[in-house]
Structure 1
Amino acid sequence: MSGQLAGKVAIVTGAARGLGRAYALRLAGLGADVVIADLNLDGARDWGEQLGADTVPREIEAMGRRSIGVQGDLSRPADVARLFDETMAALGRVDILVNNAGGAIARESGPRASETTQADYDLLMDANLRTTLLCCQAAVPIMKAQGAGVIVNVTSQTGVSTLPGGLLAVYGASKAAVASLTRTLAAELGPCGIRVNALSPGIIMTARVAAQAAARGIGTNAQAESLPLRRLGEPDDCAGVVEFLVTDLSRYVTGQVICADGGAVLHPN
């Protein structure tokens, strides 16, 4: 176990499975105590993702770190306040915030801008932009009082470049807004010793993506071959970027959006 983050406390949202879990385990491996925040703390079971213990917090405890799980809807201010209150009560500080919660979760409309209902617009903006903003707003006073902090927001390839035919349009718009928010927060908070950057994943083969690949046409060999690196991503590919962004390796980096997409945005549609 590396000790680069020894004594630090991290909150990772959307961390009960998939990419969020990969980020949480990476931070714990670097020595941090980690809070797992999710709408469903048992979410890994829904997609057949195999854990090393009953829950992600218990996986982290088995690594010798402290961890708690907080379940809630982070688009609701009361749930965000409870997350940070429980974190401070249990662990006493917040040094790192990784805003991973969200997704392309439209329920009743098609993937193009002209097809998106008002209900799905609200859902996508709440899940991706509102959760990020609320969690940043809750973290900032704590980090300012400590004199330092690191925030990593998770955007998406679709927030940097368009997909063929304009697919996932409103999801992409919400993630583009996260990228813009990241830059403005970096400008605001830099004088306070707080760095803010973003990670932009491409197609990453999580258990959920693998389970939905055939039905949704994602994670295909053709998509892999279209990339300059000729392969789809794995969760650890993104976790490595998070490691860079939360450690002193990036101590002079703020306001940046780093793409981990195999080069997908080199050939925008």
Structure 2
Amino acid sequence: MHEPLKGKVAIVTGGARGLGRAYALRLAGLGADVVVADLNLDGARDWNETLSADSVPAEIEAMGRRSIGVQADLSKPQDVERIFAETMRAFGRVDILVNNAGGAIARDSGPLATQTSQADYDLLMDANLRSTLLCCQAAAPIMQEQRSGVIVNVTSQTGVSILPGGLLAVYGAAKAAVAMLTRNLASELGPHGIRVNAIAPGIIMTARVAAQAAARGIGTNSQADSLPLRRLGTVEDCAGVLEFLATDLSQYVTGQVICADGGAVLAPN
């Protein structure tokens, strides 16, 4: 079996469902032991996502890998410190960090910049930018001591180009900041043998997106037909990009943002 990540340890934030789960399972399939960090380790059940075991860590262990789950709020420095402390106690190293946690999770305001409340601004920045920065800050000294490491941040199509009418403006601004943070970290950490890249997914048909499609107008046939590839994305589409970035296939690639969006960013708005 081809196991390019055998002996490696990965942390996947937001790994209990959806894209994060797909990332965690792909890394395990490539041979890595995986730490699943999430605000809600039972999050898959909230969206009726079918698991092959009781939890994502249990799914990974059934594949013959080691795994632990850590429930934490990634916007809190003490929780991030606990994730990395538990990882080091369990595995003794961190080779791969996937900053997947986040989302367009505004609660009490509209999707436009002029409609965004201060509370939702804080929530969006904390969930998407602050959490990414805190995890990178925690991973960096461990990887620097090892003289190796891979960080893959998750930004978004909305962080690369605007949506029609300026929808999801503050979410997009947070994700654009993640993309710029990625480039700066790549410059800072490259001399220490650490590569930092990002994935920018488009509309990916996770269980959550499918459940909310009708109400939110996301994941429609017209959206699929508007893309150059004429279909919406799957979690495996993004997991394939992660495989490239997490393995030596991309050993000379750093500071890049790879769009996995079916060509959505090719159409100017």
State the partner residue of 1:21. 21
Aligned-partner Cα distance in 1 for 2:99–2:185: 13
> How many percent of aligned residue pairs carry the same amino acid?
83
Secondary structure of 2:190 counterpart: helix
Aligned-partner Cα distance in 1 for 2:14–2:207: 14
Secondary structure of 1:177 counterpart: helix
Letter in structure 1 aligned against 2:247: T
Letter in structure 1 aligned against 2:131: T
Query: Structure 1, residues 229-263: CA drift from partner, whole Å, max 9, x if none?
Result: 00000000000000000100000000000000000
State the partner residue of 2:55. 55
Q: In the TM superposition, what are the counterparts of 1:1-269 in structure 2 within 5 Å?
A: 1-269=1-269
Letter in structure 2 aligned against 1:88: M
Secondary structure of 1:199 counterpart: strand
Aligned-partner Cα distance in 1 for 2:22–2:2: 16
Q: Which runs of 5+ in 1 are unaligned?
A: none
Q: What is the CA distance between 1:49 and its match in structure 2?
A: 0.1
Aligned-partner Cα distance in 2 for 1:40–1:217: 26
Aligned-partner Cα distance in 1 for 2:173–2:98: 20
The count of corresponding residues between Structure 1 and Structure 2 is 269
Letter in structure 1 aligned against 2:101: A
Secondary structure of 1:219 counterpart: coil
Letter in structure 2 aligned against 1:191: P
TM-score, length-normalised on structure 1? Answer: 1.00
Query: Structure 1, residues 127-160: CA drift from partner, whole Å, max 9, x if none?
Result: 0000000000000000001010000000000000
Q: What is the CA distance between 1:3 and its match in structure 2?
A: 1.1
Secondary structure of 2:68 counterpart: strand
Runs of 4+ in 1 over 3 A off after TM superposition: none
Aligned-partner Cα distance in 1 for 2:95–2:233: 28
Aligned-partner Cα distance in 2 for 1:114–1:58: 44
Aligned-partner Cα distance in 2 for 1:2–1:31: 8
Letter in structure 1 aligned against 2:178: V
Aligned-partner Cα distance in 1 for 2:81–2:52: 30
Q: What is the CA distance between 1:2 and its match in structure 2?
A: 2.6
Aligned-partner Cα distance in 1 for 2:243–2:190: 20
